[in-house]
A and B are shown apart, each in its own frame.
Chain A
């Protein structure tokens, strides 16, 4: 029992050592003073991917790097940048992967075009079938 406990504690120590020792960035957990800007920042953070824990947004993640990204977002919003400018800045560095917001681009346009085409085809078929019986 004691040995198991010692092992568990040793495990915790290693996990602890793998974390950075600095306190979070100023705006990682602090909201902006202006509620309207904070709402803008918050909405943007919910659509940006955390790079450490991919699959979470930076708004949901407690990873240090997500904190630094929230800090970056809030500082830039505070300085007057628009959320889309900040998104573009990040996409320039990490590619589309960083953003959860669907964008129409060179590789993604079929995702938007195919459903429209299918609806059109279905409409045409229905019109021909139903129209024929009248």
Chain B
């Protein structure tokens, strides 16, 4: 019998590779988080009105004071934002300077939210059309960005801050200091 040419196996091998690839990729759960592509880039220019009566407003220039900050994107209507309040309080207690952007929120709702869950913020800007949120590549609330003293975004934490996120964010703040 004539030996079968090895090249005849190539299409079958390609097909098998394709099947394996599809199976592996399908068995992996799809990621639904959208990471910001703005890490390492400067904050866009913005100048927001204040979101609450007892905290100053927020603009890009506030980040250019040489001190790294946490930029927390939150909203009073967002349930996980309440869940991360203890972690934000802990971060503030351990020396983090936290500024915030309240997305699509009314001042009276923000005030009620902060009265109930605590106010760890030194500044809060009102982002009524999600302009800052879109400008920094954030795709939901809550998200927390580490911004260095030159206004450059260094890190993005997606979702509500968990217990282990406190150490992580403090470490990222120290890295941003260097």
Contact = CB atoms under 8 A, between A and B. Distances in A.
Interface in A15-59: 17-22, 25, 51-52, 54
Tell me if A's interface is mostly helix, strand, loop or mixed: helix
Interface in A51-91: 51-52, 54, 64-65, 68-69, 71-72, 90-91
Contacts, number: 70
A95 interface: yes
A119 to B, nearest CB: 16
A25 B133 CA distance: 14
A97 interface: yes
B25 interface: no
Q: Which of B34, B128, B129, B136 has the most CB of A within 10 A?
A: B129
Interface in A87-127: 90-95, 97-98
Interface residues of B, number: 26
B134 A21 contact: no
Contact of A18 (B36, B79, B109): B79
Given A18-B79, A68-B129, A97 B105 contact: no
Tell me if B's interface is mostly helix, strand, loop or mixed: loop
A71 B137 CA distance: 16
Given A20-B105, A52-B140, A64-B104, A93 B77 contact: no
B167 interface: no
Contacts of B65: none
A31 B134 CA distance: 21
A34 B137 CA distance: 29
Given A21-B109, A54-B32, A93 B137 contact: yes
A55 B35 CA distance: 16
B153 to A, nearest CB: 11
B169 interface: no
Nearest to A54: B32
Given A64-B104, A69-B134, A71-B129, A21 B77 contact: yes
A72 B34 contact: no
22 contacts: A18-B77, A21-B104, A21-B106, A25-B129, A25-B130, A51-B139, A51-B140, A64-B104, A68-B130, A68-B131, A69-B134, A91-B37, A92-B38, A93-B38, A93-B137, A94-B37, A94-B137, A94-B139, A95-B34, A95-B37, A97-B34, A98-B34
Q: Sort A-B residue pairs by CB-CB distance and give the 10 closest, nearest first.
A: A93-B137, A68-B130, A51-B139, A20-B104, A25-B129, A95-B37, A22-B104, A20-B77, A68-B129, A94-B137
Interface of A: 17-22, 25, 51-52, 54, 64-65, 68-69, 71-72, 90-95, 97-98
